[in-house]
Structure 1
Amino acid sequence: MKKISSWCAVIIWMALIFYLSHQPGGESSHLSGGVLTFIHALIPMFDLHENEWIHTFVRKGAHLGAYLILGALFMIALRSSYQTTLRKRAFIAFISSFLYAISDEVHQLFVPGRSGQATDVLIDSLGAAIGIGIYLAISRFMSSRNRSPR
């Protein structure tokens, strides 16, 4: 059951990424603007809508965050499915995330108002690597904690 649920989490997350990538440019921009409005509500002294670089930062941060989660989810699913080295699982998780990032950018080439960008693949890959790194750090911490005498 753990194996199935962990792979379902990966598939659902990939579907969410696909759904968000399938939004036409105007809708996607509106969603980012909504995030800026929410941040502005929390920090009213700054009007974030006036700064294009902040809008870009939010959009690229969403890429990084989405793939950070995807990388970690791949690690969890691979742990439940394959009894191989941690290094090999990390490699598979990274390559899988990287290939999905490429397919996501190619997909965006066919969505009105969107474009596929190699820089987004790099940002997505960085996010996946960070997610995998966080998973590895937590895994090492937990295993060292379990080995320490009590």
Structure 2
Amino acid sequence: MISIKRLSHDNWWLLLSLAIMILLFISSAQTYQQQTSVPFLARWLHDQPFKQQLAGISFTYVDQKVSIASSGYFKFIEFFIRKGAHFGSYFLIGLGGYMGYRSRIKQTGLTMIVVWLAATGYAALDEFHQSLTGGRTPLFQDVLLDACGALTAIVLAWLITKFWRRRGKKAA
């Protein structure tokens, strides 16, 4: 058994990715009714802040119109929360994966590609898992959103670590 004190920084990053993946697996096993945030939003945003400003926003996502007029204020807000959760959770998976594997895989480009492909593959498996859950619709567009979240984190982590390494060399 590995003691928590003995975990390296790399392993903490990998644990972050694993924890997010476990949460996503649990979430994908729930129906929309089990995880909808509409009742919570209705209770806490009952004044519907910024409704007039948001009313002008309308677009199509996977052949479905997204607007306050077509789905109502709370479902409209929930749409952005859910898509933000897609992007954000895979951002964390990509960040944890890159930071956890960058010292294990010595080639930076290879690390970036492997982590991005792994995150994208997990996103596809997660959408497949959703297809097995009643009341859920797996979407290829969500896999693309997830892949973008992971890629964004990987590139940002690479840029930041590159910046800090160069800054450290100049100070020495």
Q: What residue number does 2:82 align with?
A: 59
Shift of 1:45: 3.2
Distance 1:87 1:68, change over 3 A: same
Q: What residue number does 1:14 align with?
A: 21
Corresponding letter in the other structure for 1:94: W
Distance 1:20 1:96, change over 3 A: same
Q: TM-score, normalised by structure 1?
A: 0.84
SS in structure 2 at match of 1:81:
coil
CA distance in 2, matches of 1:36, 1:88: 46
What are the within-5 Å matches in structure 2 for residues 20-35 of structure 1?
Answer: 20-30=27-37, 34=40
Contact 2:42–2:74, Cα closer than 8 Å, also in 1: no
1:90 equivalenced with 2:112 (yes/no): yes
Contact 2:98–2:112, Cα closer than 8 Å, also in 1: yes
SS in structure 2 at match of 1:45:
coil
Deviations 1:88-128 (A, max 9, x none): 10001100000000000000001111111100000000000
Contact 1:25–1:113, Cα closer than 8 Å, also in 2: yes
Higher mean C-alpha displacement, 6-15 vs 55-64? 6-15
Distance 1:18 1:36, change over 3 A: farther
CA distance in 2, matches of 1:19, 1:61: 18
Q: What residue number does 2:50 align with?
A: 46
Higher mean C-alpha displacement, 16-25 vs 2-11? 2-11
Q: TM-score, normalised by structure 2?
A: 0.74
Distance 1:50 1:94, change over 3 A: same
Aligned residue pairs: how many?
146
Higher mean C-alpha displacement, 62-71 vs 13-22? 13-22
Higher strand share: 2
Distance 1:140 1:23, change over 3 A: same
Contact 1:6–1:80, Cα closer than 8 Å, also in 2: no
Q: What residue number does 2:127 align with?
A: 105
Q: What residue number does 2:157 align with?
A: 135
CA distance in 1, matches of 2:161, 2:42: 34
For the pair shown, the structure with the greater C-alpha radius of gyration is: 2
Contact 1:72–1:131, Cα closer than 8 Å, also in 2: yes
Distance 1:137 1:20, change over 3 A: same
Q: What residue number does 2:171 align with?
A: 149
Distance 1:44 1:76, change over 3 A: same
Higher helix share: 1
Deviations 1:46-71 (A, max 9, x none): 35861544322221111001001100
